[in-house]
Amino acid sequence: MFRPIVFNEEVCTGCNKCVDVCLMEILQPNPEKGKPPIVAYPDECAYDGACWMHCPLGEKGAIKVVPPLPMRVSILRGI
């Protein structure tokens, strides 16, 4: 199970700006308003970070982009 995009439910307000801007169209708005989006297609994430860039609460950790573990095992494990 790959988790390229991790939301912090405490911080995310479900504004869905990330859903709007995702290039690969992998995010979908949660049926429950105010909840973080659903990562419908985690295997298609391009790791570009557009979702984080346009998240109004990105700095507060509402959304995190996590590169696959094989990509960071050598130098950057715990992020």
Partner 1 sequence: MTTWNEYVERNGTIPEWPYPIHYNKENEITTDVLILGGGVAGCHAAISAIRNGVKVVLVEAGHAKRGGSGGAGVDHWHGALTNPCSKVAPEDYTNAIMDCAHGYSNGIARYIISKEGWDTLLECEEMGVQIRDVKDEFKGADFRDEETKLMFAYDYKSRHVIRIWGYNIKPCLYNEMKRLGVEIYNRVVITSLLTEGGKQGGKVIGATGVNTRTGEFYIFRSKATIVATGGASRLFRFAPELTAASSMYGMNSTATGHAIGWDAGAEFVLMDQSGPGYFSGFGYAPYSMGNASNTYHGTPIVDANGKEVPWCDPYGRELKTVQERFLPSPGQRFQLGIGIRLYYYLDEYRLNDLTKDLPERIRKGEFTLPLYADLTRLPELERKCIFGMMVGNEGKTRIPIYDQFTKAGFDPDKDLLQTPIMPPEAYQNSNYWDGMNMPHIRNLSGGGFLVDWKLGTSLEGLFAASGVSIFGAGSHGESQTTGRYAGRKAAVYAKTVPRLTMDRRQIETEKARTYQSIRNNKNGVGWKELNYAIARVMQDYCGKYKNDLTLYHGLRLLNELKENEAATAYASNPHELGRMLECFSLMTLGEMIMQASLARKCSSLYLDFYRLDYPEMDPPEWQKLLPIRLEENKVRVRELPLDFHLKPPHASSYEENYKLHAK
Which parts of this chain interact with partner 1 (CB under 8 A)? 1-7, 9, 20-25, 28-31, 35-36, 38-50, 52-54, 65, 67-68, 70-72, 74-76, 78-79
Round to whole Å and give the CA distance between 74 and 79: 13
First-to-last alpha carbon distance for the chain, in angstroms, is 17
**Is 13 or 54 the residue whose CB approaches partner 1 more closely?**
54
Minimum distance of partner 1 from residue 17's CB (angstroms): 10
Length of the chain: 79
Decide the pairing of beta strands 5-7 and 63-65.
antiparallel
Minimum distance of partner 1 from residue 31's CB (angstroms): 6
